Each structure stands twice: as structure tokens, then as C-alpha cells.
Amino acid sequence: MPRLSLYRQDKTSDYRFLDRTIAEMYTVGGIDIFIHKYLGPTATGDSTIDPSAENFDATQPGSATTDPTFIEDLLLLENRDRSYDPDVYQMRGVYNIQDIDFDLSQFGLFLQQDTLFVTFHYNTMINTFGRKLMSGDVIEVPNLKDYHPLDQSIQTPLPKLYTIQDASYASEGFSQTWQPHLWRVKATPLVGSQEYKGVLDVYANPADADANLCGSVDGTTITADSTLCKAESYSAGTINDLLSTHNKNTEINTAIVAQAVAELPTSGYDVSKFYIEPVGKDNVPDNPAGIKADNTSYTVDMNHVTVDTSVVSPEANGWLAGYLTGNNLPPNGLPMTPGTVFPPNALVGDYVLRLDYFPNRLFRFNGDRWIKVEDNVRTNLTPGASDNKTQRNKFITNNTTLTTKDRGAIPTLQGLSDLLRPSADN
């Protein structure tokens, strides 16, 4: 008499009986879960690595076809540009509903209710999906839809999407024959990013939806608010715009930049608020208001006063001159004449701002010549601004192309990754 043993090396009739029973349990008690199948990195149409190619990069090989086992970036080990099957697969799965709870097994407080552990019947998965669920696949859990989003303009429930992070046989899926029947995946909430663009962009704005879905079907008029209308209604665009934090981050960054410009509109230091005492002969402080004929503090017997003396202007910025302090404003709020030429019949102490200089330059007339005072080096801190007319901004945002005889057209503005990449110079 052979010894009794529940274990069978092969999948016998016992295994098939138990497997059908377990499959029926998932059909009866499971929930429909929609799956977006990950096909692999987007095919580039070239599977060769040619070192003589202009854009050769051994860490980013090309792929002629989509393959889920292919790695797009071998350096960072990333698959940024992903392709997903346009068909949506439907399978029954089971997961445990979790309450908000804190993970106290480690330092700090960590919420774990966002991670789902979903089990699927293994053979049903293979027959329906064609392969095992793997990292990169995206699942949609319909019973977790957000029917009342905070944005009142959104009239359609927001789908709850998860991305699979890991997958393996479920420990509870081994039957008495020691054969596995269940496949368990770990899924975390999907975030709007480049990797899942192919999934998120399929949830479209109703303005872009197919008219056949919300129009006349078989002679029956279906309105946009009908349950038969399958077009998703997201007034803010695609679901990617709602799930992604890109738009909100852009809004926050714009507000921060606006406040920064308000508090510090230009680079350098603002010294216009400080007073500079004019200096006369022998470095003695002079009267900044000048001398008028109706001034009673002066008498006719003063041999050093002959006629009216104009307002005395400082000859330079003095101790206020420094790094990025030039703003083309005369000291002490004195007037200046902007223009492209020096005015005739100028008086001693007059200021002229030459607008044809780049950057603009402020001059002061000392009676014999026009002496440079400062250049306008305080510029807008935002590169590319319309009023940022400086050499620094022109250098940073230089979009011109340099034409050479041996190297062809070379863009002046290049990234460091392109500039430092070795290339043949013969």
C-alpha cells in the first residue's frame, strides 16, 4: 500500500478541483478591478548601439519593440517613457479594507492605509491577462472612487488609481497540495508623473470626448449627464492635471517668485536711500544746497564768493560704491538727463545717463570732461525677463546658433551633459 501524501509534484485532478473552487470564490466574493497593462519602455525603433552615432549613449540603449523586461536607462535604472496597452483588463480581486492607523513599529508616525495588498486568482490572471501582474502595471479600484471631490466644478467621480510595486505568490493561496493558487500584489497610490502619462491622459476632458459616446446611439439621444454617457467630465483637463501636483507646484512657485520680486526686484544692494555728502576743495564738506544771492548768511565782502553757486553734487558714490550697487540713479536724488548724446552747455555737477551704453552708464560733468560714475549692474533676477537687458542675461538666454565649417551648426546654449560628452573632432 503506498503511503498517503497530500503533496503532488504535478498538478493533478486534486489541484484542478481546488483551483476551480477557489476561482469560484473569487468570482462570487471578489471585486472587479480594472488593470492597465504595462507593455515596456516606449519603442524608439532602433535596437542597435552604434558608438559612432552622434547621440551615442551606452546607458540608454534603444528598443525596436516594447518589452516589459527592457530597461530604458541603465545608469539610473529607470523606465521614464512607458507604453501601456490601450485595452483595459478586468479581473476579480480581494483586498482588506483598512482604517486610518499609525505604524508604531518604527520611529515617527507613518500612515499605511494608502497601501493595498490585493490577491488575484492565479490561473484566471494568466488566462485573462496573458502574464503575471508585475511592477509597473496600474490598477483602478472602482469601489474607492471619489464621488464628492473638493473641487465643486468636477462633476464626475475621480477614479482611484494604484501602481503595483511588488508581486509574488500569496501565502494564503497554497492549498493542501502545496500548490499556489493566488497571486498577491502590493499597490500604492499613483501619482501624476512622466511614467504614467500613457494611463492618465486617457481620462479626457468632455470637450475632447468622442461625440458618439454622448450623442445619438441607436436612435436614442444620450445626454451628457446620463449614466450611459461614458465620457469622463473633468473641467480642469485630464485626470493627470487633477492627480498631479505639477499645476499646484507651478502655482506655488509663481507666487513665491512674485513675492521675491516684490521684496528684491533687482540684484545687488540698494544704496539709493543713503545720503552722500558732497566734498569741495581740500576734501572739505561743501554746502549741498549751493549758494544763492538771497542767502543772508553770506556778505559781499567775502572774497571767496563771487556769483550764485549751483547745487553741489557728489563727484562719485564714495563709500557706497561696491559690488552690484550701480543703479544709474544720481546720489541724493539729484536730477539727471537721459539720452544717447552728451548735452551741450552742461554745468559742473550735471548728470547724464547714456542709454546707448550696454549696460546704461551714468556720467558726471566736472567742467572739463564727462566722468563715469557707475553702470547699471542691478538687473532683474529672473533670466529672460523683458526688462533684463544686460550682458549677463544675454549670455544665459543666448539662443543663437554658431555656424562652423567643420562642425556644422552648433547651438550656443547647451546643457552640460551635451557639452561634456566626448565626440570626434576630426
The pLDDT tens digits of the residues spanning 211-230 come to: 334 444 444 444 444 444 44
Report how far apart the first and last C-alpha atoms of the chain are (Å, whole number).
84
Selection from 132, 111, 114, 136 nearest residue 123 by Cα: 132
How would DSSP label each residue in 345-410? SPPTT-EEEETTSSS-EEEEE-SSSEEEEEE----BSSTT-TT--SHHHHHHT---EEEETTTEEE
User: Mean pLDDT lowest for which of 109-113, 180-184, 268-272, 273-277?
Assistant: 109-113
Check residue 292 and give its pLDDT.
53
Q: What is the mean pLDDT of the chain?
A: 78
Cell numbers found for residue 268: 545687488
Task: Kindly give, in sequence order, each residue whose CB lies less than 8 Å from that of residue 267, ignoring residues fewer than 6 positions away.
Answer: 324, 377, 378, 379, 380, 381
- The number of CA neighbours under 13 Å toward the Cβ of 218 is 1
> 168 by DSSP, 3-state: which?
strand
How would DSSP label each residue in 295-311? -TT--TT-TT--S-B--
* Contact between 266 and 388 (Cβ < 8 Å): no
H/E element holding 139?
strand 138-140
Q: What is the pLDDT of residues 15-30, one digit of tens each?
A: 999 999 999 999 999 9
Give the position of cell 572739505.
284
Task: Kindly give, in sequence order, each residue whose CB lies less than 8 Å from that of residue 119, ignoring residues fewer than 6 positions away.
Answer: 93, 94, 95, 170, 172, 173, 182, 183, 184, 185
Cell numbers found for residue 60: 540608454
- The number of CA neighbours under 13 Å toward the Cβ of 284 is 3
pTM: 0.61
Determine the Cα–Cα distance for residues 42 and 195; give it in Å rounded to an integer. 10
Mean per-residue pLDDT, 132-156: 87
